[in-house]
């Protein structure tokens, strides 16, 4: 691997490992490390590919509405929102939405009805900054994608979290595949990170029952995640804690060290 390829691999790794809500400081740090004009283009392109293909980006489109950046709602040079009927672009160097235009989004009765149900579901279950939407594949009308992204960025209380759901529905086969991923970062007096997820594969699914199926799958995933938290806190973390009692008194090393075998051996010159 040459130096350029190695450097790009390091940049991609830093972007992918970054906790939720840290895109701007990570971008700034990488620019400082590289310290050259080409670094802006390299970082912007890596960010773009990351958000198109893996970590779908939640962006603000209006005062109260969010959109998603992914390869599934990219049409030509722009991204589109099937709910808001908007098209927009995104500057991955300045990290901001640009060139928003109304209209130009094709209507689809089936997908529009599905989007209404997804919107109702997301409103009930994702209370912070969220977006849920469905899109039909441009090349295959029998393939439908569903994306749900929710972020809770709370730097004031030292934690950030992100939920992402991706589903692909094959209407001909009645097959639903996809993945749920969760990232949480807590950083008061330390750093604790959680990266977890679950792959999805369900059969006998249609457009009519896909939202109910998604609700059931995500409920089960959340319950299992909470159970694992309890187990981790009550069992695993407890085993890592100090086993000896803390009496908050100073140890008188001069008087007590000779009472230990190590102290006796040291005093007698033993190895």
Which ranges of 54-181 would DSSP assign to H, the alpha helix?
Answer: 109-125
Sequence-separated (6 or more) residues with CB below 8 Å from residue 176: 167, 168, 169, 170, 200, 201, 202, 203, 205, 210, 213
Query: Which single residue is written with the structure tokens 């009550």?
Result: 234
Q: What is the pLDDT of residues 82-98, one digit of tens each?
A: 999 999 999 998 999 99
* Rounded Cα distance, 65 and 3, in Å: 42
Coil, helix or strand for 99? Answer: strand
DSSP string, 151-170: EEEEGGGTEEEEEEEEEEEE
**DSSP code at position 56:** P
pLDDT in tens, 196-208: 999 999 999 999 9
**Tens-level pLDDT at each residue, the chain (271 residues):** 456 667 778 778 888 888 888 878 888 888 887 777 677 888 888 889 999 999 999 999 998 899 999 999 999 999 999 999 999 999 998 999 999 999 888 889 999 999 999 999 999 999 788 999 999 998 999 999 999 999 998 888 888 999 999 999 999 999 999 999 999 988 887 788 888 999 999 999 999 999 999 999 999 999 998 888 777 666 666 666 555 556 666 666 555 555 555 445 544 555 5
Are the CB atoms for 112 and 98 separated by under 8 Å?
A: no
pTM over 0.85: no
Pairing mode of beta strands 78-81, 159-170? unpaired
């Amino acid at each position: 691997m040459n130096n350029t390829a190695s450097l790009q691999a390091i940049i991609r790794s830093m972007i992918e490992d970054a906790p939720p809500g840290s895109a701007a400081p990570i971008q700034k740090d990488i620019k400082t490390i590289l310290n050259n004009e080409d670094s802006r283009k390299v970082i912007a392109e890596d960010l773009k590919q990351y958000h198109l293909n893996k970590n779908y980006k939640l962006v603000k489109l209006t005062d109260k509405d969010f959109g998603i950046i992914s390869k599934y709602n990219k049409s030509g040079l722009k991204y589109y929102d099937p709910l808001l009927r908007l098209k927009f672009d995104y500057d991955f160097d300045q990290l901001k939405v640009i060139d928003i235009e109304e209209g130009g989004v094709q209507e689809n009765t089936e997908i529009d009805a599905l989007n209404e149900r997804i919107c109702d579901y997301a409103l009930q279950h994702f209370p912070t900054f969220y977006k849920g939407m469905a899109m039909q594949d441009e090349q295959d009308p029998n393939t439908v994608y569903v994306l749900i992204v929710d972020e809770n960025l709370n730097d004031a209380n030292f934690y950030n979290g992100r939920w992402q759901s991706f589903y692909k529905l094959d209407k001909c086969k009645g097959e639903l595949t996809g993945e749920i991923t969760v990232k949480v970062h807590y950083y008061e007096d330390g750093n604790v990170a959680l990266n977890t997820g679950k792959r999805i594969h369900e059969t006998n699914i249609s457009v009519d029952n896909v939202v109910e199926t998604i609700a059931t799958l995500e409920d089960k995933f959340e319950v299992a995640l909470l159970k694992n938290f309890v187990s981790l806190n009550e069992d695993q973390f407890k085993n890592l804690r100090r086993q000896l009692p803390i009496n908050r008194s100073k140890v008188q090393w001069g008087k007590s060290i000779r009472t230990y075998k190590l102290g006796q051996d040291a005093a007698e010159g033993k190895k």
